[in-house]
Structure 1
């Protein structure tokens, strides 16, 4: 069972905030020195060890594990926590970690241990009312996390399929994103990935060779497409991938995780069947998602004369292609393999039935909004 799994269970049992925090051995020693009370077991010189406790100011810290110079602590914010409850948690940690931790720790690489520490810190900040947005020093020492990197969020779909190990996924990512990659497991089917910005230079070089101008967003979308195709075919099958603008992980780890999660959720909600999600392409969806469902439904009822038009696959495909190609009639006709007059007939039909002419900017905006809202409301 992962740390985040049993952490939620313990929080439910105690009915109080419970977090996992990482401290250096020096910080743990200072905590013990200034604590209101402690329990260090029989071998007090051999610290820190699983189950050892320190209490101060209504909070309790219990050692859950140790990796190199970092101590993993369970932080319980419960001034009325009974001594018997603390002893039971300490005993459970001693029993569980005493049997399994040495074997598990030896099986983990240094990279994976660091990734798990980052994961626990991110999870704590996401659950906090006042999150810290900059990584603590002990998680960035000697790290490349101060350099700008490209963030990705990978969400897998195959819940009943055996998942690849951390090392398997890391190996695949290194083969595609170069050796300079950071992989952080968030949930059982969710991975935060940081790739080198050198990938953008490679994309720019390819674009130059092809005599094409490519924006930053175009390059990021191209990288995301290639990464998704590789992962879908070589590793996990069906999956969702979001990518955002480059940022510094040490300063933007939490905000980036929130943005990418929101991007995946919006993409899956408004664009079923799409697997690559880009935040700069979902700005209208983000705005519409903030509107209460009751108001969305009321707006649709007042705006639509012919709701069944959006059910017709032919009309739906025509409208979406028309918007994708920036309302260009000629390009849309080519994309749909139909005559220009056939396309004009369909647009005239839409105007006749709804009173909205998508060739006019103000009407095109309304149809785009109605289409997005209808998709979500229909599924709900």
Structure 2
């Protein structure tokens, strides 16, 4: 139960105001001993005949309720009973509390969609939104897209349980339109990094490895290839959550356009594609007409796959031939044929850049 709601209910029952105070743990322990409590972390203790009821403890403070006016012994026992029940419920969350978590995440998702639709990129999360305290830490945002019917039917509880198991702790799972926004505390990822440090050189390497593992886990759990995944840089400000969600959605869109055969899209691998996507249509068309690479060549699947693989492998002829399972001379023949038809030799850096840009523009214009 929310602390404000609990306080209000208690005040309505006793007809008096309650104040929530913080106490030093050692002082509370002394009071508990003086009042013969079996355990300092439970029950009610008196200070100068004034009753104080324990609500919760943390590493540095004890939180207690104090009545502002004198109460009868019956009212004191009633408050003690109600708070004991509330503490028990807090320590052992019920099904309803899990449903509360889901409702809070749904509320956040609805608010995010409204801000995105309105273009309010710098909107701060409302103070009265119940989930706001969970977003106070540094977070890493992931976006999981569900393209088929099976993926869209995945239940919140099952996906949340799977993600908690994968990341090793509580996460925030926010339903969006045909996708899920997953917010993971930095501390959890640092723990993962410590456990799997071998081969992980940078934070982005870690995020890429996490995406790969997460995709494989989800695909094995629900089957099919209808899931796609992307991730963003660390969020250190709640006010950037809306813009981060938009950036994730754009990365997902770019991946679907430019990396059709992939299921994981990393924004730092799509920087050139992002630039191409935002070029005005008339400028795109002008470049296409002046590039010297006809669309008919790129519509040939063999040519397109050969060029894309060649660029993906840093224009390495031997590695490209191995990846395509063809002889090195066969690859050279294809590249020479392309040069004859276009006048562009993709083994030359300048020509390779022009052809790469033309391929990206072709994919954008083909989609439009």
TM range (shorter): 0.5 to 0.7
Separation in 2, partners of 1:244, 1:362: 31
Q: 1:282 aligns with which of 244, 248, 270?
A: 270
What pairs up with 1:294-309 in 2 under 5 angstroms? 294-309=282-297
Cross-structure match for 2:353: 365
Q: 1:371: Cα distance to partner? A: 0.6
The Cα of 1:199 is off from its aligned counterpart by: 3.0
* Corresponding position of 2:217: 230
The 1:329–1:228 alpha-carbon spacing in structure 2 relative to 1, beyond 3 Å, is: same
Q: Does 1:291 align with 2:268?
A: no
Deviations along 1:278-319, one digit per CA (max 9) or x if unpaired, are 111111111111123344234223323443322232222221
- Written as runs of structure 1 = structure 2, the 5 A alignment for 1:137-152 is 137-139=127-129, 143-152=133-142
Write the distance in 2 (CA, Å) between the matches of 1:313 and 1:180: 45
Calculate the TM-score normalised by the size of structure 1: 0.64
Matching residue of 1:166: 156
Question: In the alignment, what sits opposite 2:341?
Answer: 353
How many aligned residue pairs are there? 274
What are the superposed Cα offsets for residues 334-370 of structure 1, whole Å, 9 maximum, x if unpaired?
3223333332222222222211122222111111110
**Please, which of 180, 203, 211 is the counterpart of residue 191 of structure 1?**
180
> In 1, distance between residues paired with 2:207 and 2:248?
14
Conserved 8 A contact 2:146-2:228: yes
1:34-67 Cα offsets, whole Å, 9 max, x none, are xxxxxxxxxxxxxxxxxxxxxxxxxxxxxxxxxx
Partner of 2:310: 322
The correspondence for 2:102, drawn from 92, 104, 112, is 112
Provide the residue aligned with 2:123 in structure 1. 133
Q: Distance in 1 between matches of 2:116 and 2:331?
A: 48
Kept in 1, the 8 Å contact 2:146–2:152? The answer is no
Q: State the alpha-carbon separation in 2 of the partners of residues 291 and 156 from structure 1.
A: 28
Question: Mind listing any 5+ residue stretches in structure 2 that lack a counterpart?
Answer: 6-94
RMSD: 2.8
Rounded Cα–Cα distance in structure 2 between residues aligned with 1:131 and 1:372: 28
Q: Measure, in 1, the Cα distance between the counterparts of 2:293 and 2:229.
A: 36
Q: Distance in 1 between matches of 2:171 and 2:98?
A: 17
2:258–2:360 Cα contact (<8 Å) kept: yes
**Corresponding residue of 1:243:** 231
Instruction: Describe the SS at the equivalent of 2:128.
Output: helix
Checking the alignment, whether the CA contact within 8 Å between 1:200 and 1:219 is kept in structure 2 is no
Q: Deviations over 1:156-204 (max 9, x none)?
A: 11237771221111111112122221101122x1211012433355346
- Give distance in 1, aligned partners of 2:140 and 2:111: 20
Task: Give the Cα separation in 2 of the matches to 1:278 and 1:144.
Answer: 26
TM-score relative to the length of structure 2: 0.66
Contact 1:178 1:196 (8 Å CA) reproduced = no
SS of the equivalent of 1:247 reads coil
**Which of 1 and 2 has greater Rg?**
2
